[in-house]
Amino acid sequence: MRKKILAGLAAFTLIFGTVGCQSAAKNFGGDYTLKLPKNEKLVTITWKDNSLWYLTKPMTEDDVAETYKFQESADLGIMEGTVTVVETKEESENGENE
């Protein structure tokens, strides 16, 4: 009985301990937020196995910080994951965006 309880706790910890992680968003339909370094603009994003790969470039003066939401559309609508990418633009000392 004690082994079953420990196994159950281990499974619970494994599943819910990964909430907010990349692999949880992909495999279990969780949510993950990726905050890019300041003044970085998202170009593209993809999965390679359980790793999230993203390409960025430096923001130009004309670029605006944006937030992107990538959502999975599963066949049955079960366990759909969401990855939110947040850009930030740092302002210079004179109050203008860099």
Q: What is the pLDDT of residue 81?
A: 83
Q: What is the pLDDT of residue 14?
A: 47
Q: What is the pLDDT of residue 79?
A: 66
Listed in sequence order, the residues at least 6 apart from 74 whose beta carbon sits closer than 8 Å to its beta carbon are 29, 80
Q: What is the pLDDT of residue 12?
A: 47
Tokens found for residue 66: 């944006």
Which residues of the chain fall short of a pLDDT of 70? 3-29, 77-79, 92-98
Q: What is the pLDDT of residue 96?
A: 58
